[in-house]
Amino acid sequence: MLGRTKDQIRTTEQVNGAMASCQALKLDALVIIGGVTSNTDAAQLAETFAEAKCATKVVGVPVTLNGDLKNQFVETTVGFDTICKVNSQLISNVCTDALSAEKKKRALYQPELPPCLQGTTVRVEYGDAAIAADPAGAHVISHAFPHTYGQPLAHFLRKTANVPDATVISEHPVVRVGVVFCGRQSPGGHNVIWGLHEAIKAHNPNSKLIGFLGGSDGLLAQRTLEITNEVLSSYKNQGGYDMLGRTKDQIRTTEQVNGAMASCQALKLDALVIIGGVTSNTDAAQLAETFAEAKCATKVVGVPVTLNGDLKNQFVETTVGFDTICKVNSQLISNVCTDALSAEKYYYFIRMMGRKASHVALECALQSHPNMVILGEEVAASKLTIFDITKQICDAVQARAEKDKYHGVVLIPEGLVSLYMPYGYSLTTFLSGIYEIHGLHSKGVSMENISSQLSPWASALFEFLPPFIRKQLLLHPESDDSAQLSQIETEKLLAQLVENEMNRRMVLGHVCYHILAAGLNGYMATVTNLKSPANKWRCGAAPISSMMTVKRWSRGPAATQIGKPAVHMATVDLKGKAFELLRNNSTSFLIDDIYRNPGPIQFEGAGADSKPISLCVEDQDYMGRIKKLQEYLEKVKSIVKPGCSQDVLKAALSAMSSVTETLAIMTSSSTGQGTPL
């Protein structure tokens, strides 16, 4: 509201200036709000004013988050309690401890279920066979997944739905279901297990849910824990993956796949639920295919849980964990914005999680309104170098300085470092350099000796990077052998370059049970129409293979191209409405300090039903539209049948001809093929 600059009134000139101001404004009192230094200055001012017979009285107020202004007269300072509670909450997020009073209250919250998941009868309507998201790679995907590709979409129906062809499952035999955490830990993972356990027990109390301890390692080693109400009581509505834990993030090699199948057979599992992101669900699809080929009775179900929000396609609107992580980060960013606005002399560079996709950075920017946000997708599309980005930030700092604003907040995604092209090289060339550096380090070459053994351009790249970035690049790689982007302090690199330049969640668990009750294999649980209230959510299942694409890339200068079907991470759509909203407001975000604080996460009351902005502005609900189209087609079939009038038949033929021609043109243009004759 008022802001602050220097934190001292100490020199004779400063003290006399303060007294002159008080006399000019005819102040009866001057209240100084601050910590130990500020109150020391207040005491000196009071003494000087009294000596000079200045009528202004000086009062000090102990306000400091450090809590270090404490003596026999001052028990604590304003701000100390709040900062300790905020920090304690953050610390508790990375610790496993007994439930606090707040967590116990949170555990009592009961999430709302959509009508289609209520009751003990499963009603499922099967749609048409799902084709690949990437038509150009359909042949490769169908060849790699002959048993699970081309399966129909599944829509779960509410009790009142009148669909004659729906399959109704009212008898539920005893089942044994296994569940495993894979990938980065994410908010909502425990609630998926809670929902799955609740659904399993509701349909048959004798069924069992078996968790694998330690992720995929636990699956292969058959380290298990039976999930019971007692086990769940400490984890309902709580973050983390600590109930079961996780280790490796892959089930990829023939040995691993066979080991997983052996575990499922030994434990006599009817289904295996894999909770994770793009990599984990790709592995789930491969397991489902291998199990089907081997006639293993275990069905495999994937659940999209990742805080990055990059498992996004026509079937998956958003992932479990994305909304929570964006709300938490947005609140923290808004706190930083408030601090920047108060101090009026600092620029903050905040690195956002998200690997190579910038969904978290985009959503947090829309939520908290920082002055500037760099999106990796923009960098890649515009082929910007790190020096281009540095220039953009410097120009922004200069523009704000011209308006007497010497503070600001800049968001950058952690995956930005993988898009840096310092010397104008292509992204592929840059990544090849990273792989070359990793390859030498994995062979035992020390950081000091790597540069001399690299190719000339890779050596130049390595030498360009500051020492702390070089060290972070050589950390133990991710499960897919890529660099640990989350450990690379990109924000420090950008801040250093800018400085130099200026100087010069529960529902999906129930869906999982409906999927296995329907006997489906190789499917991912989906919930769509998420921007509407929970009673209007549409629950279903889509074959994971239909979400796959075939991407080709090279590793190393002489490597051959590799093409393999996989569920790939979705990047920010630079033509989408969410990005358009950000671009339309970017100028006001940059110059005007319109910081926004979305507030803490709430289960009840104001803000409890808030949805991600990037979800609400997009026009999604693909599964709902597919179902609506099927309803229209059924109506056409019921109207246009042998015996209908010539006029009805002609109208139907004319309309269908126009529609099919339009769709053929749209399909050919999206796949890059010519217009069919």
Would the CA dihedral through 451, 454, 460, 466 be positive or negative? negative
Q: Place 211 in a pLDDT band, splitting at 50, 70 and 90.
A: very high
pLDDT of residue 557: 46
Determine, yes or no, domain membership for 305. yes
Mean pLDDT of 346-358: 83
**Domain finish residue from 312, 344, 363:** 312
| Domains in the chain, number | 2
Least confident interval from 16-30, 84-98, 366-380: 84-98
Tens of pLDDT, residue by residue over 380-400, are 888 887 778 888 888 999 899
3-state per-residue secondary structure call for 582-648: HHHHHHHHHHCCCCCCCCCCCCCCCCCCCCCHHHHHCCCCHHHHHHHHHHHHHHHHHHCCCCCCHHH
H-only helix segments in 344-426: 359-368, 376-382, 386-401
Does the pLDDT value for residue 533 go beyond 60? yes
Determine, yes or no, domain membership for 170. no
What burial class does residue 108 get, using C-beta atoms within 10 Å of its C-beta: 0-12 exposed, 13-18 middle, 19+ buried? exposed
**Domain finish residue from 60, 87, 114:** 87
Strand, coil or helix: 497: helix
Determine, yes or no, domain membership for 127. no
What is the distance between the alpha carbons of residues 582 and 597, in angstroms, rounded to a whole number?
A: 17
Does the pLDDT value for residue 64 go beyond 80? yes
pLDDT of residue 412: 85
**Domain finish residue from 35, 55, 87:** 87
28-37, 259-268, 489-498: which is most confident: 259-268
Q: Place 37 in a pLDDT band, splitting at 50, 70 and 90.
A: confident
Q: Using an 8 Å Cβ cutoff, are 246 and 181 in contact?
A: yes
pLDDT of residue 646: 86
Does the pLDDT value for residue 573 go beyond 80? yes
CA diameter of the chain: 109
Cα angle value 122/126/129 (rounded, 5°): 150
pLDDT of residue 264: 96
pLDDT of residue 428: 45
Determine, yes or no, domain membership for 291. yes
Higher pLDDT, 44 or 268: 268
Determine, yes or no, domain membership for 437. no
Tens of pLDDT, residue by residue over 217-237, are 999 999 999 999 999 988 888
Query: How distant is the alpha carbon of residue 584 from its chain centre?
Result: 23
Does the pLDDT value for residue 593 go beyond 90? no
Q: Place 177 in a pLDDT band, splitting at 50, 70 and 90.
A: very high
Determine, yes or no, domain membership for 657. no
Determine, yes or no, domain membership for 167. no
Determine, yes or no, domain membership for 284. yes
pLDDT of residue 98: 55
Least confident interval from 422-431, 509-518, 635-644: 422-431
Does 293 share its domain with 181?
yes
Return the structure tokens found at 454.
């690299």
pLDDT of residue 440: 74
Does the pLDDT value for residue 556 go beyond 90? no
Tens of pLDDT, residue by residue over 95-135, are 555 556 667 777 788 888 889 899 889 999 998 888 887 77
Does 70 share its domain with 181?
no
What is the distance between the alpha carbons of residues 64 and 77, in angstroms, rounded to a whole number?
A: 6
Q: Place 670 in a pLDDT band, splitting at 50, 70 and 90.
A: low
Model's pTM, two decimal places? 0.73
Q: Place 27 in a pLDDT band, splitting at 50, 70 and 90.
A: very high
pLDDT of residue 368: 92
Q: Give me the CATH number covering residue 215.
A: 3.40.50.450
Q: Place 6 in a pLDDT band, splitting at 50, 70 and 90.
A: low
Does the pLDDT value for residue 421 go beyond 50? no
Residue 64 is part of which domain span? 12-87
Does the pLDDT value for residue 477 go beyond 60? no
User: Average per-residue pLDDT in the chain?
Assistant: 81
